[in-house]
Structure 1
Amino acid sequence: MIHQHPLAYLLGLEGVALLRAFAGEHDEEFVAARLAEIRSLLEDAYELGAGGPATELTSAEAYGWWAGGYDAPGNQLIDIEGPIVRSLLDDVPAGVALDAACGTGRHAEYLAGLGHEVVGVDSSPEMLAVARTKVPAGRFVSGDLASLPLPDDGVDLVVCALALSHVPDLRPVFAEFARVLRPGGSLVVSDPRGRLGDIGLPIVVPGPDGGMGFLPNRSRLASEYLAAALPLGFEVRHCEEPMRPSPFVDPDGVPPGAAGAAPPLTPSGRPPNIWALHPLIPEAANAAYQGSPVAIVWRFQLTS
């Protein structure tokens, strides 16, 4: 169980912004503005709500809640990650393609359009239901990344998008990718980067019991993916870390959208929707998030 307090998040952003100023990225006027803003925020620590606890959810529970709105426009991460992944898929000959942790089937649909025979695996029945409507000819089954319900050497391509940040250990998942791939097959992986450097902020959504829950969202070093992939015979063909847009919050104080964001901020004791907080301190939010990657995207090839 974790405890989230809206003021704690805002003060954290202010602190990161001040550290960037201390490193020489901002001037005295910026520092003075941040200190004044912190004083104002502290005048009433509970004006934004008292925050509250959130219990850990499974991926199926969290993404089941998201299924109806996951594909809504304005998800900054998906808007940046999607075109990069698709450019890598364009270079792979048509064959049997596995979309692992397929979600709503956004990549499965693209793979089908390229002529692949598509298999999708996900732990969320609600997500699978959406994917089936997008790719009626595909085969979508319930399963776990660490135990894929597919035979050995059965696919030519594996895609796993924005899902590995939720697994505790990459090694068994990459071992499964290597098991189901044919020699010479391709693996395309995308994953979120920590919203603030190496801090993987959890995703907070309503839980099945009506309370608030969170899904861990790990931010990993590039070396961790390599340590999981290279011993299995994977070789790197591409690696890219796209950056967040600047400014992170536009001049009018409107934050980037986030499909499946938690309910709006209330003083009822529920954990905050952090995406609703950024417009309160746009300069600090922009400074805190500037120059940070939004994702990492890999293409591997299985050589043995």
Structure 2
Amino acid sequence: MRFTDFDTRGYPTVDVRTGYAGWVGTYEDTVQDAMDIALLDRLSEPSWSTVDRAVDLGCGTGRTGKWLRDNGVRAIDGVDLTPEMLAVAAGRGAHDKLVEADVTDTGLPAGGYDLLIASLVDEHLDDLRPLYAEAARLAAPGAVFVLVAFHPQFMMVSGMPTHYTDEGGEHVAISTNVHLVSDHVTAGLAAGWRLAEMRERLIDEEWVALKPKWRRYAGQPVSAAYVWRRV
């Protein structure tokens, strides 16, 4: 679904690689753990400490990779499209290997991972099916795929694209798409995944404390986590 149908900001828009290269210097100060890490904390599965090998799809600066390490995941590979983000992730040291590649075509060997995770990536994809298919290709038997996403309802209500402020103080949007919950379910089932758990995060008082201007969105779902198991 085209985000332009809901866009209320009208920021100039750049592609994903250009956008994250421009955002890298302030990314860690901008993205709140309440959006994604808080949802990972609330999942009842998988048992993170039993994971032998994980792949972090769209690993960015390594925020998710560090959380996985802190929660007992023993080996983690990371994939990202943007060299500048990978350089920050390398400095953080949470990953065993980092690969510059598209999350839908990683080039990694098939069947090598018992956990696959993608956080705040899907809104940059025109079509979800290649991501779910690539995750299925990489998955070992019985693997789990955890995907954390902006909630489509929030994107529609707020009219706000993924964006950052450049060095000149201007707001710049990164190519953004809206994917319905049904789009995730359709793509996941088609790739041979079974939905095991789903959690949604609402704009609550914690969020309002972080972003006071978001009080007008109180009670709206802002993000969602899907837990898939390989059929």
Is TM (by shorter chain) over 0.5?
A: yes
Q: How does 1:1-304 map to 2 (within 5 A)?
A: 54-72=11-29, 75-76=31-32, 78-88=33-43, 91-92=47-48, 93-113=50-70, 114-135=72-93, 138-194=96-152, 195=154, 197=156, 201-205=160-164, 213-246=172-205, 256=211, 278=213, 286-287=215-216, 289-303=217-231
Contact 2:59 2:79 in 1 (8 A): yes
Identify if the C-alpha distance between structure 1 residues 290 and 96 changes in structure 2 by more than 3 Å, giving closer, same or farther: same
Identify if the C-alpha distance between structure 1 residues 68 and 221 changes in structure 2 by more than 3 Å, giving closer, same or farther: same
Query: SS of 1:99's equivalent?
Result: strand
Rounded to whole Å, the distance in 2 between the matches of 1:85 and 1:203 is 21
In structure 1, what residue type is equivalent to 2:184? Y
In the TM superposition, what is the alpha-carbon distance from 1:139 to its structure 2 partner? 0.6
Number of equivalent positions: 222
Contact 2:101 2:107 in 1 (8 A): yes
Rounded to whole Å, the distance in 2 between the matches of 1:199 and 1:211 is 19
Gaps of 5+ in 2: none
Higher radius of gyration, 1 or 2:
1
Rounded to whole Å, the distance in 2 between the matches of 1:206 and 1:286 is 22
Rounded to whole Å, the distance in 2 between the matches of 1:300 and 1:177 is 10
Query: SS of 2:106's equivalent?
Result: coil
Identity over aligned residues, as a percent? 26
In structure 2, what residue type is equivalent to 1:292? Q
Deviations 1:13-61 (A, max 9, x none): xxxxxxxxxxxxxxxxxxxxxxxxxxxxxxxxxxxxxxxx744312121
Deviations 1:42-95 (A, max 9, x none): xxxxxxxxxxx74431212111222222222x744x324203214546614221
Rounded to whole Å, the distance in 1 between the matches of 2:163 and 2:73 is 37
Identify if the C-alpha distance between structure 1 residues 86 and 125 changes in structure 2 by more than 3 Å, giving closer, same or farther: farther
Contact 1:189 1:298 in 2 (8 A): yes
Rounded to whole Å, the distance in 2 between the matches of 1:82 and 1:152 is 27
In the TM superposition, what is the alpha-carbon distance from 1:210 to its structure 2 partner? 10
Contact 2:34 2:207 in 1 (8 A): no
In the TM superposition, what is the alpha-carbon distance from 1:216 to its structure 2 partner? 2.9
Rounded to whole Å, the distance in 2 between the matches of 1:110 and 1:86 is 10
In structure 2, what residue type is equivalent to 1:175? A
Deviations 1:130-163 (A, max 9, x none): 1112226521110101211201111111010011
Contact 1:123 1:142 in 2 (8 A): yes
Contact 1:198 1:220 in 2 (8 A): no
In the TM superposition, what is the alpha-carbon distance from 1:290 to its structure 2 partner? 2.6
Identify if the C-alpha distance between structure 1 residues 105 and 126 changes in structure 2 by more than 3 Å, giving closer, same or farther: same
Aligned residue for 1:270? none
Identify if the C-alpha distance between structure 1 residues 214 and 243 changes in structure 2 by more than 3 Å, giving closer, same or farther: same
Query: SS of 1:71's equivalent?
Result: helix
Rounded to whole Å, the distance in 2 between the matches of 1:192 and 1:247 is 17
How large is the RMSD of aligned CA atoms in angstroms?
A: 3.0
Identify if the C-alpha distance between structure 1 residues 248 and 116 changes in structure 2 by more than 3 Å, giving closer, same or farther: closer
Rounded to whole Å, the distance in 2 between the matches of 1:135 and 1:163 is 21
